[in-house]
Structure 1
Amino acid sequence: MLRIKTRRRPTVTLPLTALIDIVFLLLIYFLLTSSFINREGLKLDLPKAVSGRAIKAPLTVYVDQKGEIHFQGRKMNGAELLEALAEELSKTPEKKVEIEADRRAPLEAVVSAMDAARLAGAKTLSLATEKPAEP
């Protein structure tokens, strides 16, 4: 009887450790480079400024294009805003207020919101802007 030798085929194994490392690095990269901005539901068209800096304020006042002032989801006038801001600023150690005003908002409403923030005790006041699209 004739015996035929059969060769065993070598088994190929993929090194999954390197693949898993790459997947985790990509996941970390995308998490760090993405930005999660949560708007309160007001559709504002912010003015554009090249020299703007990112400042995160704990309190944000919104002024829409009709000149209506919104704070914490409620529409307010200047006196109500002053009272609400004074109460909130007394709770926070950093006295920062950011005003997000639509670019078509009346200047009087924006100044009224700024004035209320200063009178309420805000130490830092900033206006939100967007960077213009690069050509």
Structure 2
Amino acid sequence: MELKRRNKVSAEFSMASMTDIIFLLLIFFMITSSAISQSAIDVKLPKATSEQANAQDPATVTITKDGKYFVNDEEIAKEQLENHLVNVLNGNENPSFTIRADENAIHKDVVFVMGIAETHHFNLAIATITEE
């Protein structure tokens, strides 16, 4: 005598729950990505401790808000800045300099000086406000 099972196991897979999960994940990532991009507007410059601020480099490049460049308090034209920095740092075993940029300086002026450091493999430090 052959007995039949009353409960048959279905081999079908329901995709309804999977689409719900994907939809919820999509909404979650859309909300978090927009929140991250909006919070990037409030950028504050880092503050250095007194030990970090005492490091001295042989050269300091100062960039004013009107785009003037100074190397060790001597005004240098933008076109001559690279050659002047190479001459000042030539002979140092660890050539490095510090960028002191006004908070209202144009970003491309700072990137220009950083490009000089990258081209000649100079170490670079960016001046910050000292914590009190």
Relative to the length of structure 2, the TM-score reads 0.56
SS in 2 for 1:80: helix
**1:95 aligns to 2:92 (yes or no):** no
**1:76 aligns to 2:73 (yes or no):** no
Q: What is the identity, as a one-letter code, of the residue corresponding to 1:109? A: D
1:16-95 equivalences in 2 (<5 Å): 48-51=45-48, 53-54=52-53, 55-72=55-72, 73-77=74-78, 79-95=79-95
The residue number in structure 2 matching 1:131 is 130
Larger radius of gyration: 2
Q: State the shift of 1:81 in Å.
A: 0.9
Q: State the shift of 1:51 in Å.
A: 4.5
Judging changes above 3 Å, is the alpha-carbon distance between structure 1 residues 132 and 103 closer, same or farther for their aligned structure 2 residues? farther
The residue number in structure 2 matching 1:113 is 113
The residue number in structure 2 matching 1:12 is none
Q: What is the identity, as a one-letter code, of the residue corresponding to 2:96? A: K
Aligned-pair identity in percent equals 22
Higher helix share: 2
Q: Give 4+ residue runs of structure 1 displaced > 3 Å after superposition.
A: none
SS in 2 for 1:125: strand
Unaligned runs of 5+ in 2: 1-43
Task: Report the count of equivalent residues.
Answer: 85
Q: State the shift of 1:132 in Å.
A: 4.8
Unaligned runs of 5+ in 1: 1-46
Aligned CA RMSD, in angstroms, stands at 2.1
Structure 1 CA distance, aligned partners of 2:80 and 2:121?
15
